[in-house]
Amino acid sequence: MQIREATLSDFDQIIHILKDHFVHDRQFAPITNNNYPDTDDGKEELAKAIVRDDNIALVIEDNDKILGYLTGAVRDRSWREQTKVAELDGLYLSEDIRNQGWGSKLIDRFKQFARDNNAKALKVMTNYNNSIARSFYEKNGFQEHATWYEQPLD
């Protein structure tokens, strides 16, 4: 198994894993649109992550099969004191490779990408009631920083 940068030839396999990710996240956030990976917006967002220099897309591959991914970007947040922030947009592992250190290895590669692009901080958002993801990010050095509220309207 290896971690490598994604290429456009990985697109369909990553879309497949993105669908699993969205289905998984729906249990924590019923507002999640499971069809998003198949939409034009979803596909465009993934393509940007793969080809743009200020973005990163990594995959975990085993025998030509993609079993996990990470996407993120360095963004300028001028309202912050530390203006350049590396935002982790998505990270998902197939169930059969979880709890083996692969997620932490992806985070390490993301940290290096952030440093290489002069980011001063890392940021990730996860669902509040996803205790497994929250524990994973805390184990990897992230600290709870903000709480996001949402209220559905009739």
- Between these two residues, 152 and 103, which has the higher pLDDT value? 103
Check whether 63 has a pLDDT greater than 70: yes
More confident residue, 118 or 22: 118
- Confirm whether 130 is domain-assigned: yes
Name the domain count of the chain. 1
Say if 149 falls within a structural domain: no
Asked, for residue 148, whether it belongs to a domain, the answer is no
Q: Please report whether residue 105 resides in a domain.
A: yes
Please list the residues that pair with 61 across neighbouring strands: 2, 66
The whole-angstrom separation of Cα 140 and Cα 153 is 36
Domain for residue 147, yes or no?
no
Please report the pLDDT score of residue 37 as a whole number: 67
Classify residue 145: in a domain, yes or no: no
Computed on alpha carbons and rounded to an integer, the radius of gyration of the chain in Å comes to: 15
Per-residue pLDDT band for 14 (boundaries 50, 70, 90) equals: confident
Could you please report the per-residue DSSP string of 99-131? Answer: TSSHHHHHHHHHHHHHHHTT--EEEE---TT-H
Q: Assess whether pLDDT exceeds 90 at residue 136.
A: yes
Asked if residue 79 belongs to a domain, the reply is: yes
Structure tokens at 125: 């958002």
| pLDDT of res. 57 | 94
Structural domain boundaries enclosing 79: 2-139
Residues 68-86, mean pLDDT to the nearest whole number: 83
More confident residue, 18 or 34: 18
pTM confidence score: 0.84
154 in any annotated domain: no
CATH number of the domain encompassing residue 29: 3.40.630.30
- Token pair, residue 109, equals 């590669």
Give the distance, in angstroms, between the CA of residue 133 and the centroid of all CA atoms in the same chain: 11
Please report which confidence band the pLDDT of residue 72 belongs to, taking 50, 70 and 90 as the band edges.
very high
